[in-house]
Amino acid sequence: MALTLKQKQVYDFISAYWQKHTLAPTQREIKEHFHLKSFGSVQRYINYLKAEGLLSNDWNVRRGLKPLPRLAAQEGEIPLLGLIAAGRPIEPLENPQNVRIPSDLALHALDHGEQLFALRVRGDSMIEDGILPNDLIICKAAQNARKGEKVVAVVDGEATLKHYIPHKNSIELRPANQSMASIEVSPEQHFEIRGIMIGLWRQF
């Protein structure tokens, strides 16, 4: 998984400290630098970074932390959450598995504190944008979007991939297929954005 912004900041602080002093900051220095309330918070950040392969730790040394190359991002694995309709809306599947994506895209997400996920496309309502059935779309988790962006949206419990077009009193989810009509979302309906499409991965 990509790091959150604060997780990346902790990793960057430890890395910069190492480059300057050739040793790691203490947990107290990390706590004070980020104004954390407890050493437990420091431990949670350290444990996550260790689990992601970004830190090693010599438990017998006071300054035993050591930043490692960003192996998790270089491996380029993100969760495949299931199927998304580019036609009739359907709910993404549960029980995610991991899929590989280009390492430069994963590293970009890591640098920007973004969390990525993938969905497999069903339907042909986005074919004029070059999004075909069975394509793998790569999305960053988000709750807001700009006008025109391709979003993973949930309307009354059903998810779909469409262009996000907000209006004064409604939301239009516009397909990229002239033979299909937009989905009009009224204020009475439950609507939320789950992610923004940032890439596409197709195997031939």
When pLDDT is cut at 50, 70 and 90, the band that residue 162 belongs to is very high
When pLDDT is cut at 50, 70 and 90, the band that residue 171 belongs to is very high
Q: What pLDDT is recorded for position 130?
A: 94
Q: What pLDDT is recorded for position 202?
A: 76
Domains within the chain, CATH numbers bracketed: 5-68 (1.10.10.10), 76-201 (2.10.109.10)
Q: What is the pLDDT of residues 34-80, one digit of tens each?
A: 999 999 999 999 988 887 778 887 655 667 788 876 544 445 677 77
Q: What pLDDT is recorded for position 23?
A: 86
Q: What pLDDT is recorded for position 31?
A: 93
Active centre residues (catalytic): 125, 162
DSSP, res 128: G
Residue 115: C-alpha distances to residues 5, 89, 96, 198 (Å): 10, 23, 14, 12
Q: Identify the sign of the CA torsion 124, 129, 134, 139.
A: negative
Q: What pLDDT is recorded for position 72?
A: 47
**Is residue 122 pLDDT above 50, yes or no?**
yes
The residues facing 151 across adjacent strands are: 162, 196
Q: For the chain, what is the total number of helices (H) and then of strands (E)?
A: 5, 11
**Is residue 115 pLDDT above 90, yes or no?**
no
Q: What pLDDT is recorded for position 71?
A: 47
How crowded is residue 92: how many other Cβ atoms within 10 Å of its Cβ?
19
Mean pLDDT of the chain: 83
Q: What pLDDT is recorded for position 96?
A: 58
Q: Is this prediction's pTM over 0.75?
A: no
When pLDDT is cut at 50, 70 and 90, the band that residue 189 belongs to is very high
**Is residue 156 pLDDT above 80, yes or no?**
yes
